Structure 1
Amino acid sequence: MNKRLSIQLAAALLASATLLSSALGLFRDRLLNGMYYDTYKVGIDAYTAAFTVPDFMFFILVSGALSVTFIPVLNQRLATGNKKSAWQLSSSLINFMALITLIASVLIIIFADPILRYIIAPGLSESGMALAVSMMRVIAVNPFLFAIATVIASMQQAVGRFAFLALAPTIYNIGIIIGALFFTSGITIFGVQIFEGGIMGVALGVVLGSILQLIVSSIGLIGLGFDYEFKIYWKNKGFRQVLKLLPPRSFDQGMDYAVSLVEMNLASRMTEGTLRAFQQATTLHLVPINLIGVAISTAAFPKMTERLGQGRPDLFRDELQGVLRVIIWIALPVSLITFFTRGYLVNFINNGGDALMSMLLGILVVAILFRSIYHIAARSFYAQQDTRTPLYISIVAISLNIILAIWFTFTLELGAAGLAAAQSIVAVVEVVILFMVMSRRIPGLFGNGFWSAVLRMASATGLMSLVTYFMVTSFPLGAGDNSFLASFPKFCLIVAVSLVAYVMLSQLMSLQEARPVVRRVKRVFFGRTR
């Protein structure tokens, strides 16, 4: 499991693990919605709000900011065989991030009440506010645990190890599910009840999941030869370089998450349950983005940095163009299928469906396509150790998102739909600006061949949408399809027929991305006969 993997195998592994993690996440949300969404909207809104600041601190301090700044610098040292410097850099980063996030966790515990009351969710009732504050203080340990796990995972990613990196998020969701299933009924040890239970048990499950994720990530270090030291090497050039690259990317991440804080603030002022409904629709639209954009770009990123490290910008351009085409080829049909099957998807996480969630997801499908593209587009700059350009573009995009969200909800009175519309519009704007800058920096990336392929992909998707629409109308959700087992087979049939049609259309339109899929299918079904 700790072997180095190719880009294709790594992408497949990450996508499969993301799919498993997402499936567990959907089961987690379905479990929580079934327990609280219809019966205790105040509680589920409070639970949703409690995550915001711990998640914000993690995203701004660690998350993608660390991996895209740390991996190129670490790869440079490993490529030249300077393992001593590489391990000093890694140890320094683990210790530095642990220290920073520990301070952040303590501050969250101290200031949870005013942060929630005046910034995050001022629209919560007093009972909801008290519950959110208590849960936030429990979840506050997450940034500290996640920071250490992320540095360890980035080390493995840099050397092409992806197995335990892919497994860790799944373990995290399992911890939360354990909390929902067992801790909510209370915890008793030797006949003494030490915890009464309730929705606070889910918060304890979150902490359990974080601890398990750190343990699993650490197993991935076996055989790497990592020599950990409880010390920060301030004079290490690689460490100083990472610290230099980190602030722009961290600020970029923080700005991106700031939109979520604004959206939560606005949603908390609407009717009870709106905050949870919007968060759930956002979670659903992130599943294909993580499966496609994040998984593929994460797998491709180390190779892209390696090409530049070899002094081969031509190979870097070819790698980037190939990955871009694959992401667009996959994301286009998935976005359309998500739109037509949004009723099924919402039914999976909330038994019986929910009209508000379904409407919001329908608006967010535009963001699925463009957010998937964004991840590889941004990483093309990070591979060149340029974290400032995506930052400047994000500042423009995020400012526009906040302005549109406030205008749509307050002036146009579109409610939660305005929040979703703002997200989709800004996703398009951000990718367009990134493409414009990339075309100037990387000549030949967007030639006639690229745009011809994209046009053929769009045509195949348009024709496939007719098939998807026919399938959805032929197999609609009925009154007896509320349960997961009743609706899932129909959903799978709709998706399977749609994707088969899309691959066949892509083959007819001579799209090279379809050839490996067709070859693999032929090998599976006709290989032995031949």
Structure 2
Amino acid sequence: MTTRSNAPLPPWSEDIVDEFGLDEGNIYPGAAPAPSATSSMAKSAVIIGVAFLASRLLGLLREIVLANRFGTSSEYDAYVSAFRIPDLLFLVIMSGSFGAAFIPVFGGFLARGEEDDADRLASAVITWTALTTIVLGLITFVFAGPLMRYVVAPDLPPDAMDLAIKTMRMLLLSPLLLGMGIAAKGILETHLQFTLPALAPVVYNLAIVLAALFLAPEYGIEGVTIGVLIGALLHVGIQIPGVIRTGMRFRPTLSRNVAGLSEVGILLLPRVIGQAAFQINFVAVNHFASQTGEGGVSALNYAWQMLMLPNGVLALSISTVVFPTMAAQFELGDVDAFRNTLQRGLRPLLLLLIPAAIGLFEFRTALFQTIFQSGNFTADSTILASEPLAFLALGLVWYGLVEVLARTFYAMKDTVTPVAAGIFIIVVNIVLSKALLGSMGHVGLALALSVSTGIEAFILIVILRRRIGGFGTEFGVWLSKIVMATAVMALVSALLAPKLDRLTAGDDPNRIIQLGMLAIAVGACAAAYFLAAWLLGLPEARNGMNKVRTRVRHLARIG
């Protein structure tokens, strides 16, 4: 047996140890006590958040370049539709395996100092999931035509339909490559090493951006698809050195007699069902959107990407950091520490997502006019994409909460609860989508998504409260102050939004001036929110003000 458990914890873990009172003896029994940590978990979240922000900004740049090239055309509808089945394979098999199912069991072996068993488990899970992905990918390749024509996007025009089928077949290699990247991510994050996993999406998006710039003009959508495959290869490649440094030894095996494999299977089954239902939901939305005419699929995709910028930076970075910590605390039976970790994760999430939702809602038209509207993305495209964003923005907080709360249940080795809630909500969403499609078109699909996600968040909150208890009145008072501060910001944004929409409109605008006006408006809203929060006595605002004062005094002394 190796002695990795007796080595110092990775630097990222010092932040978690300091913030939540865990030492190495708690996380990895048998290890020597850790020296006093000098930084907090918040710094880890900030650094990871920066990487997520870089990835999301590159993702946004990717969408801008693609929007300029393809707009809300049927060609781009085909490209978006082509991702649905490959994404389903990736998220159901690979992402599901190495998220909720693998990390708790793998981390349990590490916590008990059983590194050899951890290595054998990782090898077995990687081998089985890769083989499953390859087999299902080959089947999908054969039946790509019927799947696209009857399931994913039945109402695409003939040329777009042919392009969608061809593109989907090319993309079927990406689930395997991205899946290997997710496997590396799971291993690294269980070792509390977050840097390389956070950078992997950055290089993925960068490859697509470069392909959109240099290959799309010559090869169209096919050129972009090549960039996707190169990005997927880089996604796994950048993480391999980190996995090697952990000491993990990969030995391919199809043996079913591997310690922990049956437990992974038990945890995985409901996760697979839940992820399949979730992705089927997106396939259903795509199916309905293709019935709304040219650009319906594209518009929903652009609106979704805009929504995922704040959600990805905040919800994903926070859930990534707190998940291994909560899993370790649950393993130790420390419910109070578990609840405290969750609350500390939810506070920055709500502090920023609640005002961000209002900002997206009020400035949705100006955002598309400033960021996207150029080339083939016309004023009509702006209207087509900004309308669904209004309803998606109102559900931003729910999307963030579901992301964090679902992973909270996974840390408790409970995959059944979030999966059962998710399946129920999928049914609700499909029923709502079908009901609203006729009267509201693709906008009704956005409304259905937000309403159903809000119901899902409520269900998870109620169940979790029964399991671990509530956060107390202090948290409720804190949340009410956030809402009041956001109400002040909403008034400011409501006054600025109509003027900003007019100032950023035009067929040939000055992009720098547009960005400047948008920045001023956003800055004014942020200042109003911060000032209101400070006057209400919000601790985060008071701490921020104290830091500003300290920095100003320091600069004054230097001057």
TM surpasses 0.5: yes
For 1:433, which of 441, 448, 459 is the aligned residue? 459
Find the partner of 1:202 among 224, 228, 252. 224
Given that 1:293 and 1:375 are in contact with CA atoms closer than 8 Å, whether structure 2 keeps it comes out as yes
In the alignment, is residue 350 of structure 1 matched against residue 373 of structure 2? yes
* Counterpart in the other structure of 2:545: 518
Partner residue in 2 for 1:332: 354
Give the Cα–Cα distance (whole angstroms) in 2 for the partners of residues 275 and 328 of structure 1: 30
Match of 1:417 in 2: 443
| Match runs of 1:63-462 below 5 Å | 63=95, 66-186=98-218, 197-347=219-369, 348-351=371-374, 353=379, 354-410=382-438, 413-443=439-469, 445-462=470-487
Alignment partner of 1:497 is 2:524: yes
Which secondary structure does the structure 2 equivalent of 1:220 belong to? helix
* SS of 2:239 mapped into structure 1: helix
Measure, in 2, the Cα distance between the counterparts of 1:24 and 1:416: 26
Q: TM-score, normalised by structure 1?
A: 0.93
Could you tell me which amino acid in structure 2 is paired with residue 263 of structure 1? V
Aligned twin of 2:54:
20
Mapped contact 2:96–2:268 kept (Cα < 8 A): no
| Cα distance in 2 between the residues matched to 1:401 and 1:459 | 30
Tell me how far 1:497 sits from its aligned partner. Answer: 2.5
Report the count of equivalent residues: 514
Conservation of the 8 A alpha-carbon contact between 1:165 and 1:220: no
Q: Tell whether the 8 Å contact from 1:27 to 1:349 is kept in structure 2 after alignment.
A: no
User: Are the aligned partners of 2:81 and 2:164 in contact in 1 as well (CA < 8 Å)?
Assistant: yes
The Cα of 1:64 is off from its aligned counterpart by 5.0
Check 1:277–1:185 CA distance in 2 against 1; reply closer, same or farther (3 A cut). Answer: closer
- State the distance in 2 between where 1:519 and 1:77 align: 44
Residue matched to 2:6: none
Between 1:509-518 and 1:495-504, the stretch displaced more is 509-518
- Deviation of 1:365 after TM superposition, in Å, equals 0.9
Q: Is the 8 A contact 2:311 2:400 kept in 1?
A: yes
| Equivalent residue letter for 2:82 | A
Inter-partner Cα distance in structure 2 for 1:210 and 1:392:
31
Taking a change above 3 Å as real, the CA distance of residues 101 and 478 of structure 1, as seen in their structure-2 partners, is: same
Identity of aligned residues (%): 29
Q: What SS does the aligned partner of 2:489 have? A: helix
Alignment match, 1:193: none
Match of 1:30 in 2: 64
Structure 2 Cα separation of the partners of residues 512 and 64 of structure 1: 37
SS at match of 2:250: coil
Looking at structure 2, the residues matched to 400 and 294 of structure 1 have their Cα atoms a distance apart, in angstroms, of 25
Distance (whole Å) between structure 2 residues aligned to residue 483 and residue 399 of structure 1: 46
Q: Distance in 1 between matches of 2:278 and 2:214?
A: 35
Q: Does the C-alpha gap of structure 1 residues 446 and 481 become closer, same or farther in structure 2, counting only changes over 3 Å? A: farther
- Structure 1: gaps (5+ residues): 187-196
Q: Is the 8 A contact 2:100 2:267 kept in 1?
A: no
Matched, 1:52 2:60: no
Work out the CA distance in 1 between the residues paired with 2:505 and 2:162.
40
1:158 and 1:302 in contact (8 A); partners too: yes
Q: Between 473-482 and 387-396, report the one with greater CA deviation.
A: 473-482
| Contact 1:66-1:246 within 8 A present in 2 as well | no
Measured against aligned partners, the alpha-carbon deviations of 1:81-125 in whole angstroms (never above 9, x if no partner) come to: 111111111122221221111112212211111100110000011
TM-fit CA distance, 1:394 = 1.0
Q: Which amino acid aligns with 2:512?
A: L
Q: Provide the C-alpha distance between the structure 1 equivalents of 2:355 and 2:541, rounded to a whole number of angstroms.
A: 13
- List per-residue Cα deviations over 1:347-372 (Å, max 9, x = no partner): 31332551121111011112111111
Deviation larger for 47-56 or 101-110: 101-110
Checking the alignment, whether the CA contact within 8 Å between 2:361 and 2:394 is kept in structure 1 is no
Q: Distance in 2 between matches of 1:252 and 1:517?
A: 40
The offset of 1:500, in angstroms, is 2.6
Call closer, same or farther: CA 1:418–1:225 in 2, change over 3 Å.
Answer: same
Are the counterparts in 1 of residues 310 and 356 from structure 2 also a CA contact under 8 Å?
Answer: yes
Please give the alpha-carbon distance, in whole angstroms, between the structure 1 residues aligned to 2:298 and 2:129. Answer: 31
Cα shift at 1:492: 2.1
Kindly provide the amino acid, as one letter, of the partner of residue 429 in structure 1: I
Counterpart contact for 1:164–1:219, Cα < 8 Å: no
**Residues 213-236 of structure 1, C-alpha deviation per residue, up to 9 Å, x if partnerless?**
111121322421111112245222
Flag structure 2 segments of 5+ consecutive residues without an equivalent. Answer: 1-9, 16-40
Whether the aligned pair in 2 keeps the contact of 1:49 and 1:264 (CA below 8 Å) is: yes
2:94 to 62, 81, 99: 62
Q: Which residue of 2 aligns with 1:190?
A: none
Shift of 1:201: 1.0
**Counterpart residue type for residue 53 of structure 1:** I
Cα shift readout 1:10-29 (whole Å, capped 9, x = no counterpart): 21122211211111111111
